Structure 1
Amino acid sequence: MTLKKWCAVLAMSAGAVTSAIAQSDFPPSASAKQEAPRLVEVMSMAQLEHLKLWYAGKAKNWDLAAYELRQLTNSLAEAAIFYPAVPVSNVTTMKEPLLSIADAIAAGDDRKFAASMRVLTDGCNACHASMGRGFIAIAVPTSGQPPANQIFPPLEKPRKK
């Protein structure tokens, strides 16, 4: 499945998520609560994925950027699925920026990528504010130095003989 299609499926399936939550045993049973990650863990992963997505795009490593976008999309879906207090509409409003980022990655368009990341970041902060968590604010990284334990520029692929 293409990245763009994956983002669209996530966004369109939000209605199904709402229905599934309404028909399930939410709040989750004790055993389900033990298996579900804490919301802070899901959101911490989303923040890290956002950061890595940014640096992968800035390095024009579109394969890594596509991977990180899928991971971020999954984290947003988990937040909506596991935590009914997170309005599904907050997740579905991310559809357009996610699709725009997917388009930029597919085209290798670093300007569209940067602009779409800013829109996505604004959406994250709007979600936090709507949940009474406006004090949790994220930003597009401004430092030229990415985390020191990952290589972001694409590596040369071994040549086939």
Structure 2
Amino acid sequence: MGIRITGIDVPFGGISWEYTETEKQAIQKLFFFLESKRLLTNPIEMEIKQWCIESALEIKRRLVDTLSECDFSKDTIGCIRSMIGACNDFLDRLDTVKETGIIFKNEKGDWANSAFSSAMKQFRNVFRENINLLSSVYGIIFTKTIPTEY
């Protein structure tokens, strides 16, 4: 945790400050959050469209909040922005999915709805790539596995 000076009083003296997070701490907190998201890490046989929408919105909000926590490097900002973009793309693509309830997998193990399958694969691929980059830059392990097949 760092300290940022926010003011100096004169003539009698005095300094005011606030505690700040380091970039690594902020990314670690983001990883803890993302590891808990079923949308990213759960290889289940079915999903509910509305829950996926709510989860993507929650992830997007957390990513935006994380950007405001620290003065991140240009590369880290790029990774986080890429994940925000993946959330937006996922939400846009879910608009084309007509199912309102449960979306099941087919006998081949892929999502029965091809639009949902494509959206989910793209979403998870972007997150997997950027989490791997952030993990190597900050030396933080992302403990969950984001499925590659769907």
- Structure 2 length as normaliser, TM-score? 0.55
Q: Is 2:46 the counterpart of 1:47?
A: no
The within-5 A match list for 1:16-95 is: 29-30=17-18, 33=20, 39=26, 40-49=28-37, 51-52=38-39, 55=42, 59-85=46-72, 87-95=76-84
Q: How far apart in 1 are the matches of 2:54 and 2:125?
A: 19
Say which structure is richer in strand. 2
Q: Percent of counterpart pairs with the same letter?
A: 7
Call closer, same or farther: CA 1:56–1:132 in 2, change over 3 Å: closer
Which residue of 2 is the match for residue 157 of structure 1? none
Corresponding residue SS for 1:60? strand
State how far apart, in whole Å, the 2-side matches of 1:44 and 1:74 are. 15
Under a length normalisation based on structure 1, what TM-score does the superposition of the two structures give? 0.52
Where do 5+ consecutive residues of structure 1 fail to align? 1-24, 143-161
Indicate how the Cα distance of structure 1 residues 82 and 47 shifts in structure 2: closer, same or farther if over 3 A, else same: same
RMSD over equivalenced CA pairs, Å:
3.3
The amino acid of 2:29's aligned partner reads E
Larger Rg: 2
Stretch moving more, 100-109 or 59-68: 100-109
Match of 1:121 among 124, 128, 131: 128
* 1:82 to partner: Cα distance: 0.6
